[in-house]
Each structure stands twice: as C-alpha cells, then as structure tokens.
Amino acid sequence: MNLLLRDGDNAFILLPTMRRPLTPGKRFRVLARDQYVCQYCGAQPPNVTLVVDHVIPVKEGGSDSEDNLIAACVACNSGKAAKRLERIAPTPTSTARLARERRNMIKAAALANDAAQAIQDLQQSVVEVWCEIRGTERVDRSTLSVMVHYAKLYGLETVGDWIVRATMRFPCASDRKIGRYVSGIRRSKIEQGTLIS
C-alpha cells in the first residue's frame, strides 16, 4: 500500500509498510505502561509469556506507534482474530491510560489557552504602539488585525517602524490609509527580497 501525504505544498510518498522488529526500548515501554498484564485477558507472567501486540494489525495499516501497541499474552496474541478489545473489562491499566489521556488533553488545552493569551497580549501591544505613534485612542478594527498579523510575522518593533514612517508621510490620514501605506512598505520589502512573505 502506498500512501501519499500532503503537508502544505510538500507531498511525501510513503513506501510500502515493511515489517520491522520493534526496538527493545519500545517493547519495554509498552509492557511497563500496561503493567505487565495481558490487556485482553488479564493474565500475568510467570503464568503466561507476554508479547507486544499491534491493536490494528500492520497489514491493515496499523503503525508501530505506542498508541497502537498493547501487552498481550501469546495465547491472546495468536488467537486475536476471535477477540474484541471492547470485551475486556476495564483493568487498572486501562483506567490509568484513560487518566493519562485526560491529563494530556488538559495539557493541550492549557497550551492552546496560553497561545490565545499570547495573541491577545500582542494585540494589546499593537494597539498601544499604534495609538502612541498616531496620537489617537482607537484603531480601526480591520487595520488592527492586519497590523497584528504583521507583528506576528516580523515583530512589534518592525511594525512600529513602518507605522512611524507612514505617519510621518501622512500625518492626518485615516487609519485605513496608514494601514495601506504600511502594507505598501511591506510589499516593497518583499519585492526587494529583504523580507519574507
């Protein structure tokens, strides 16, 4: 099976899946995560031998990522076709895994929250810079969003310089006109090759 992945404008061809042995480290991490308990039947060594099993088989496109790996006894591993994961009663291990997933989700939400806060802070800084340079107390909303976008790309100081230049050129112009002039400065810098777009 060939997979074609797209990442922006870059396309990658993934070669047909080859069965590679799992590294000992990964095997150990999966078994330790599952606390050396067969996740299908609950059996433990020394009564059984544990192996690391692919939840979605490799030939069906399952990966070697740890999310797709699970501790299983040899009997469950070999007779897996007849078994269904959802038949298994929740074990302390699966409860621990759910707790871990939940914790990861909370962490991701906190990061997203930090990012939103950072954008809000940047927006506030752009408003302050704009109002200080222009000697006003407000800024046109759509002009602001363009300036915030530039500040994300090039930094607040650069955008501040452009606003100063635009304001010196057109001291009494509207916000939108200043915004257009700033966009013009950016465009000419990109054309000169001194700025990335």
Residue numbers of the site for Zn ion (CB under 5 A)? 38, 40-41, 43, 73, 76
Shortest distance, CB of residue 75 to Zn ion, whole angstroms? 6
Residue (38 or 182) nearer to Zn ion, CB: 38
Residue 160's nearest CA partner among 194, 187, 131 is: 131
Shortest distance, CB of residue 83 to Zn ion, whole angstroms? 9
Q: How, if at all, do strands 10-14 and 3-7 pair?
A: antiparallel
Handedness of CA 95, 97, 101, 103 (dihedral sign): positive
Shortest distance, CB of residue 112 to Zn ion, whole angstroms? 39
**Strand (E) or helix (H) holding 10:** strand 10-14
Residue (38 or 133) nearer to Zn ion, CB: 38
Residue (42 or 62) nearer to Zn ion, CB: 42
Shortest distance, CB of residue 76 to Zn ion, whole angstroms? 3
Can you tell me the distance from the alpha carbon of 6 to that of 67, in angstroms, rounded to the nearest whole number? 23
Residue (40 or 181) nearer to Zn ion, CB: 40
* Cβ atoms 71, 38 nearer than 8 A: yes
